[in-house]
Structure 1
Amino acid sequence: MSTTSIVTRGSVDLHVVEEGDPDGPVLVLVHGWPDTHTLWDRVVPHLADEFRIVRFDNRGAGASTVPRAVSDFRLEHLAADLFAVIDAVSPDAPVHVLAHDWGAVLSWEAVCETRAAGRIASYTSVSGPNLDHLGTWMRERVTALRPAGPLEQAVASSYTVLFQIPGLPVPALRWWFARHWPGFVGFFDRADPAAIAPVAPTLADDMVNGLKLYRANIRRRLFRPRERHTTVPVQLVQNLRDKAVRPVGYEDTYRWVSDLRRVPLDAGHWSPRTHPAELAEATARFVRDVEAKKSPSPHR
């Protein structure tokens, strides 16, 4: 059984769904583009017996507020939304985070903030890099005349160039991709389209509204990367067949994360839909390990 609520931060209302074991560790699930909280529908049943699960629609998606300005979609605002949800659902204890795509990007922004140490106990990242880390890695590899990795990722991300042009991709997204999304993702990920369906009824609007994520952040962070570190334990689930976010882009992540683990997964980009059991098991195992390390050892 699930319950819904609204978390308000400034002018933005965030649609929040809670389910699972009310006494279990809190696990916050964060979706990316062009999804809503329903991205996790196949993952939740594998986790609900053990965790109190919280998922929400990001600003601009699903039943949450859609800000008008591109600047309202900057990562610092999205990270603040995540902290607002965390503070609302678990004011007295840190939570664990599992995030995908732009949800992972915004969660990277959050875990590299100073306050994360007391609010986020662990972070499992899937198919979404820290843009500052990625920008630094690309710049250093090109400067060192080692451009193969950055070139591989640049080719994979070439579609984002079109997303930077206001209005250009809108007709294609609204009138073709939104209508054929399961088939397209199935082709893109070499997966059964039935694993992608059903899609949220707001998909066409979510696609168009979510373009502001790319315009607000890609050039800003990749061309002017910041030094960003975290002490939050991080698990990288690296989808080996991900055509949008190539695993090579994470090769330097250890430089910025003091407690880093990597888990390879033979999946494409949308692993929460195509490989829910494997993703849930990796997350649960990581959270159990972090929770065990927090618990005091029994006296002997």
Structure 2
Amino acid sequence: MTGGKGPPLLLLHGWPETWWEWHRVMPRLAPHFSVVAIDLRGAGFSDCPRDGYDKATMARDAHEVMRSLGHDRYAVCGHDIGGMVALPQAALFRNAVSHLAVLDVPLPGWSEWEATIAKLWHFAFHMNRDLPERMIHGREYDYVSAFMAERFYDHSTFDPADVEIFARAMSLPGRTRGGMEWYRTLADDHAAALAYKKKPLAIPVLAMGGDRRFGPRMVPMLREFASDVSGGSIDRCGHYVADERPHEVAEALIGFLRAA
């Protein structure tokens, strides 16, 4: 999905969402930026190949989309798994990525990565071969709804119609498996990210999250990968920041990209 006018900005969604994650944020960004929101490999209407779900390969996918649209230099913002893609995209395509924003996600390569994911049950569950696909099949709405609701703080912003869109996308052939493959490659992603840290990013980086999830940890986390990091927490917010606080996310991105 594309729209708007101005400097190019790529938006990368998380799990179990699609580009639709950004549908409340994009109208606020469109007066200022040429906004591009894609479905990641294995999600929505993007291809769902058997392999290539390491985040460096997914970053190359996203970079090629921007090149195909004529954007040789652009900003990238990723949430959740999208943040895990955005970081290698900035590290691998340093001449192309002008700004990086990462929203509410523990990153592979972070010094607290292993201790953190050990406390997140869904990482281990999704890494199992075939088991999640078999258990979720036919129950996509129930799983997505329960999963996302657990990670919202302000449930007045929780929209079952959005959940229906994400669940229908997951029920497309191969898409549940595609999303699980994002988790099954995380050991490789962690090893690759340790290498990125040897050459810290010099571009401006925005690190934000919900104050009830990863918000307080985002800035120190990103400072392990980059030298120019700003950001912080979004008050009274859970993990799905673009769904729960779209105005705050949009205003933070506008302020960051205009100032940097």
- What TM-score bracket applies, with the shorter chain setting the length? 0.7 to 0.9
Residues 141-160 of structure 1 correspond to what in structure 2 (within 5 A)? Answer: 151=115, 153-160=116-123
The offset of 1:250, in angstroms, is: 5.4
The offset of 1:38, in angstroms, is: 0.8
After superposition, the Cα gap between the structure-2 partners of 1:249 and 1:51, relative to the gap in structure 1 and judged at 3 Å, is closer
Residues 151-230 of structure 1 correspond to what in structure 2 (within 5 A)? Answer: 151=115, 153-179=116-142, 181-182=144-145, 184-190=147-153, 191-192=155-156, 194-195=158-159, 197-198=161-162, 199-200=165-166, 201-205=168-172, 206-216=175-185, 218-222=186-190, 226-228=194-196, 229-230=200-201
Question: Which residue of structure 2 lines up, in the alignment, with residue 51 of structure 1?
Answer: 33
Question: Which residue of structure 1 lines up, in the alignment, with residue 76 of structure 2?
Answer: 97
User: Which one-letter code corresponds to 1:227 in the other structure?
Assistant: A
Does residue 20 (structure 1) correspond to residue 20 (structure 2)? The answer is no
Distance in 2 (alpha carbons) for counterparts of 1:250 and 1:65: 33
The offset of 1:89, in angstroms, is: 2.0
Which range moves more in the overlay, 28-37 or 164-173?
164-173
User: Secondary structure at 1:64's aligned position in 2?
Assistant: coil
TM-score (norm 2): 0.86
User: Which one-letter code corresponds to 2:75 in the other structure?
Assistant: H
Q: Deviations over 1:76-129 (max 9, x none)?
A: 21111121012122344x11112111111011011112x32x211111110234
After superposition, the Cα gap between the structure-2 partners of 1:86 and 1:224, relative to the gap in structure 1 and judged at 3 Å, is closer
Q: 2:89 aligns with which of 88, 91, 110?
A: 110
User: Secondary structure at 1:73's aligned position in 2?
Assistant: coil
Q: Deviations over 1:204-232 (max 9, x none)?
A: 3433321001112x223446752312112
User: Secondary structure at 2:251's aligned position in 1?
Assistant: helix
Question: Which residue of structure 2 lines up, in the alignment, with residue 29 of structure 1?
Answer: 11
Which range moves more in the overlay, 187-196 or 274-283?
187-196
Q: Which residues of structure 1 form unaligned runs of 5+?
A: 1-16, 140-149, 291-300
User: Secondary structure at 2:37's aligned position in 1?
Assistant: strand
Q: 1:258 aligns with which of 217, 221, 227?
A: 227
After superposition, the Cα gap between the structure-2 partners of 1:196 and 1:49, relative to the gap in structure 1 and judged at 3 Å, is farther
User: Which one-letter code corresponds to 2:105 in the other structure?
Assistant: G
Distance in 2 (alpha carbons) for counterparts of 1:126 and 1:235: 8
Could you say what the CA RMSD is over the residues aligned between the two structures, in angstroms?
Answer: 2.3
Q: 2:259 aligns with which of 284, 289, 294?
A: 289
Q: Which residues of structure 2 form unaligned runs of 5+?
A: none
After superposition, the Cα gap between the structure-2 partners of 1:52 and 1:42, relative to the gap in structure 1 and judged at 3 Å, is same
User: Secondary structure at 1:258's aligned position in 2?
Assistant: strand
User: Which one-letter code corresponds to 2:207 in the other structure?
Assistant: L
User: Secondary structure at 2:181's aligned position in 1?
Assistant: helix
The offset of 1:154, in angstroms, is: 3.4
Structure number with bigger Rg? 1
Question: Which residue of structure 2 lines up, in the alignment, with residue 272 of structure 1?
Answer: 242
Does residue 131 (structure 1) correspond to residue 108 (structure 2)? The answer is yes
Distance in 1 (alpha carbons) for counterparts of 2:192 and 2:26: 37
8 Å Cα contact 1:26/1:90 also seen in 2: no
